[in-house]
Structure 1
Amino acid sequence: MTSLGYLPWHRPSAYDARPAVRDEQNDLTYADFAARVDAVAEQFSEHGVGRGSVVAIMLPNRVELLVAMVAAWRLGAAATPINPAFTANEADYQIQDADSALVINAGPDAPDGGRPSLSVDDLRRESHGTLSPAATSPDELALLVYTSGSTGRPKGVMLDHANLEAMSSMMVDVMRLDAEDRCLLFLPLFHVNAICVSFLAPARVGAQLSVMSRFTVDGFLDEVERLRPTYFSGVPTIYSMLLAQPREVDFSSVRFAACGAAPASKELLDATEKRFGFALAEGYGLTECTCASNSNRWWDVRKVGTVGPAFPGVRVEVMDQDGTILPAGERGEVVIQGPTVMRGYLNRPEETAETLRDGWLHTGDVGILDEDGYLRIVDRIKDMIIRGGENIYPKEIEAVLLAHPGVMEAAVIGAPDEKFGEVPFAYVACFPDTKVAADALMDDCRTQLSRYKVPVGITILGALPKNPIGKIDKPTLRAQHPVTSIGA
């Protein structure tokens, strides 16, 4: 049977005295963490949670979120983490859609979806010793992680313990983690990136995790100086923010950092490595494959502009519309096979069948594999702009805009057009205290792009809207368009 080595009851006893996880209020060894899990699992059991139940957890980043999640697993139940910034309407939808038996939240004024709830401050810290031995199985549902819902109501992605076992094991291999590693976590724990990269993977090897409740530039830099982490995981926006600030901090303890969730420009990756001195490994994945399928290895050949080769045990191919796997160098949809592919979407059989068809997870991303198996993401299929029959990939235009030294973020959308159906329109945010003329950006586009790819306009904003996991929120930009802009 699979070891499920990230769970307290499968870890070597040699880990017991090692530091496991800390935040602003807690500093727990592995033995402390396991004891807290047992105490909370007993409490959950008294509230009717058992095998097959779902526990909803609506908390900011803190140790108790992790304790509650693992306590659910201790009972054979699943956890569904909820963005703590959600409105009551958004939270209630997820709580009810997941059919949650219990909600863990910040207190009586927090959303509960009409279900029984426990305040985080009331979670038990000491066990009464009443639980039977843990018997968590690889085929049991572990996580219900809800997609961002950019194409409709969010869907619950069903991930079982076999998925988490495979993902955490692959990450230990790809990141070369060991017991001496110290991870600094600041990404939100309602997303699989933070859960898998920063919690489950280090837990497999007895490494340490320090949890930040939220990311601020100065707060992060303070923690780097104080805790001396060996790695962390971020998104492109965060690395842009770090580059934009003047403070110099000693990053010599950091072996590598991961970058994912959204495409990063070559300029951003190169500038980050040059300034801070650590290897920055860009990767790719999605919730439906338990976080990641590809990554550049920080310790091996890194091809900037690609998201690296597939994880060990995962097959990644590029496929045309007829289902034919394409050779290296050709453009098509990225498809994935392997033990990390989700069970499906909760209570969504038609959407599950559409995404998991013919034995492949269809990602909706357009990519190209090179001769070495390194994947380059071209764009999202749904983001592709069709201008009078010509296909335009926004990422190509965004790359030109991001190459300008004053541009921090760029997003290109398809704007309605009576003549061509839709045309490219760009939104840009600049680095702090930097001014960039839209005309200059337009000149760059005219110089480097075919005429039909040049945006019809560029709007410069103070900041681009983000979704809860830090990706640029193109649906919001589309909803806000048209706006006053500087045309081509």
Structure 2
Amino acid sequence: MTYQTIPNWLMKRADLTPDRIAISAPSGVLTFRQLHEQALGLAEKCVSLGIRKSDMTAILASNSLEMVIFIHAMKYIGAKTLLLNTRLTSHEMRFQLEDAGVKTLLVNEDFLHTAKEAQVYLDIKIHTFKEVMQTSKQTFDWIKEFQLDNIDTIMYTSGTTGNPKGVMQTYGNHWWSAVGSALNLGLQDKDAWLCTVPLFHISGLSILMRGIIYGMKVVLHEKFDPSLANRAIKEEGITIASVVTAMLSRMLDDLGDEAYPSHFRCMLLGGGPAPLPVLERCSDLNIPVYQTYGMTETASQIVTLPPEYSLTKLGSAGKPLFPCEVQIQTRQGEKAEAKQPGEIVVKGPNVTEGYLNRPEATNEALQNGWFHTGDIGYLDEEGFLYVLDRRSDLIISGGENVYPAEIESVLLSHPLIIDAGVTGMEDEKWGQIPCAFLVKQKGAFLTEEEVKHYCLERLAKYKVPHHIYFVDGLPRNASNKLVRRQLPLLLEKYVGKQDEH
């Protein structure tokens, strides 16, 4: 069997444009040649610690120059890389490490305590970044060609059943994501991409991959700060930035009545459609906003709306990227008519081949070449996509995906809670926040603060319900399934009661 291969991206880029800046971060600047040399040197150190080709290796770190080098070092070894969300609790992290079969966890010192808590009962080696840096090198036959169908990275995404699933992202997925984005947004000599989103998210990792493939400078921030982001756009030649609505709103507040330099050409906006006031403000300031729709399973964006349509096609995510297709399917599996709502299904070389160790979930999601997103939407007469419901029950809080079922499973593990339902509440700062309705055991005493504390030990902070309401019962159908779509009505009732007081 013949497999499609492509030269190691960083190796090739270092050969083509060695002296261009690859990464600019607060701790330093690296050219493509320097990044290649440091990634290869680090790979030799990792090999001396026992990391081998095809091993499942995890990285736990926040955005930094060191993290970038470690990510590329794994590609030189040919190890599969699980990128861990730094906001996870040790309980959540342990599940992912065990489920993925991780052999080695590479961790920034700041997260060593959480890593060790997650490691309990697992046969996993932990090495800090500092420890690896101080290790002696061992030469090896490093990867000079990537096989496009080989797994490169794994990212876990919460499922509607409450159990996170590892999305398998191949080298081909990342390659075609970069190609599709370039064909949509174009490439210019002076392009520079601002990355203030986490590298453990597909939004951040895709920027890192594009920087290497395009030969484009990536300006990396450890975390999002609106004033620092605005300053980078004004002073560091940024032409493209990736944000979600909550980030863009804060940048606009910080910006005031100032304008961005003329070289800034793309504000790539994910995490759901932007409200009209935000788009109008951007229009007044000549800020080009490209709204997008994508997910971990599509290796970033798969649909994008150019700025010239941002007001005339308000609420639309746009049209599919050049190598991709989008279709709306009815419940009967038939192709929907224009403006007829149905499930959004997508196809393209950037779409995942499935979920790690989840053949049933993979077969359910991938049918006849189409990936079933679980999201509801429609296409208008001109083929523009409108997303009506993100995976039905999904809560998007500050750009983070929060699934009610995952929170409910934690709540139901509490000995005094016999039933739980979670829904989203609109919030000015975060877009949405999770809220919970709970049924306690008869006669039990339980406070809102006790429940929140219980959740904080088991869930990332952004998943913990902001408001908790104790009720006598929850809406369920004849088969005893929770009717979650009725929870917002319940929420209105309880919020209304609070407003009266």
| Alpha-carbon offset, residue 6 of structure 1 | 7.4
Pairing partner for 2:340 from 325, 330, 349: 330
* Paired residue secondary structure (2:133): coil
Verify: 1:319 aligned to 2:317, yes or no. Answer: no
SS at match of 1:111: helix
1:54 to 37, 52, 56: 56
For residue 327 of structure 1, report the CA deviation from its aligned partner.
Answer: 2.3
Alpha carbons of structure 1 residues 177 and 4: separation in structure 2 relative to 1, 3 Å: farther
Aligned to 2:288: 279
The 5-angstrom pairing of residues 135-214 of structure 1 reads 135-149=145-159, 151-196=161-206, 198-214=207-223
Instruction: Please report how far the alpha carbon of residue 11 of structure 1 lies from its aligned counterpart in structure 2 after TM superposition.
Output: 2.4
- Residue 129 of structure 1, CA deviation: 7.9
Q: Counterpart in 2 of 1:442?
A: none
Query: In the alignment, is residue 429 of structure 1 matched against residue 427 of structure 2?
Result: yes
Structure 1 residue 229 displacement after superposition? 0.7
TM-score, normalised to structure 1, is 0.77
Structure 1 residue 20, shift from structure 2 partner: 0.4
Matched AA of 2:25: D
SS across alignment from 1:307: strand
Q: For 1:266-287, what per-residue CA distance to the aligned partner results, in whole angstroms no more than 9, with x for missing partners?
A: 3322223323x22101010111
CA distance in 2, matches of 1:375, 1:154: 27
Distance 1:344 1:33, change over 3 A: same
User: Using the alignment, how far apart are the partners of 2:330 and 2:114 within structure 1?
Assistant: 47
Find the partner of 2:92 among 90, 93, 107.
90
Kept in 1: contact 2:339–2:379 (CA 8 A): yes
Question: Structure 1 residue 111 and structure 2 residue 115: aligned?
Answer: yes
CA contact under 8 A between 1:225 and 1:250: conserved in structure 2?
A: no
Match of 1:390 in 2: none
- C-alpha offsets along residues 359-396 of structure 1, whole Å, 9 cap, x if unaligned? 21111111111222211111135339xxxxxxxxx99x
Query: What is the DSSP-based 3-state SS (H/G/I as helix, E as strand, rest coil) of the residue aligned with 1:362?
Result: strand
What pairs up with 1:227-306 in 2 under 5 angstroms?
227-245=236-254, 247-252=256-261, 253-275=263-285, 277-298=286-307, 303-306=313-316
Give the alignment partner of residue 349 of structure 1, picking from 327, 334, 359.
359
Q: 1:201 to 1:2 in 2, by over 3 A?
A: farther
Answer whether contact 1:177 1:202 (CA < 8 A) is retained: no
SS of residue matched to 1:67: helix
Cα RMSD for the two superposed structures: 3.4
Q: Distance in 2 between matches of 1:331 and 1:22?
A: 44
Q: CA deviation at 1:339?
A: 1.0
Whether the 8 Å contact between 2:192 and 2:217 is mirrored in structure 1 is yes
Measure how far apart 1:159 and its partner are.
1.0
In 2, the alpha carbon distance for the partners of 1:8 and 1:217 equals 30
Q: Deviations over 1:81-126 (max 9, x none)?
A: 1111222222222222211121111234340524212212334399
Taking the aligned partners of 2:134 and 2:318, their CA distance within structure 1 comes to 43
Are 1:339 and 2:349 counterparts? yes
Instruction: Work out whether residues 4 and 161 of structure 1, in 8 Å CA contact, stay in contact via their aligned partners in 2.
Output: no
Count how many residue pairs are aligned between Structure 1 and Structure 2.
Answer: 417
| Secondary structure, aligned partner of 1:292 | strand
Which one-letter code corresponds to 1:367 in the other structure?
Answer: G
For 1:374 and 1:207, the matched residues in 2 are separated by 30
Residue 34 of structure 1 is matched in structure 2 by 36
1:12 shift after superposition: 6.2
Query: Which is bigger in relative contact order (C-alpha 8 A, separation at least 6)?
Result: 2
**Secondary structure of the corresponding residue to residue 342 of structure 2:** strand
Q: For residues 299 and 127 of structure 1, what CA distance do their matches in structure 2 show? A: 55
% identity of equivalent residues: 23
Aligned to 1:75: 77
* 1:335-359 CA-partner distances (Å, limit 9, x unpaired): 0112112121111111112111232
- CA–CA distance in structure 2, aligned partners of residues 127 and 379 of structure 1: 52
Query: For 1:56-103, what per-residue CA distance to the aligned partner results, in whole angstroms no more than 9, with x for missing partners?
Result: 111001122221112111111111111112222222222222111211
Is residue 239–residue 264 contact of structure 2 (8 Å, CA) maintained in 1?
Answer: yes
Q: 1:293 to 1:430 in 2, by over 3 A?
A: closer
Alignment partner, residue 66 of structure 1: 68
| Cα distance between partner residues in 1 of 2:332 and 2:282 | 40
SS at 1:142 equivalent: strand
Letter of the aligned partner of 1:120 in structure 2? F
Distance 1:150 1:227 in 2: 41
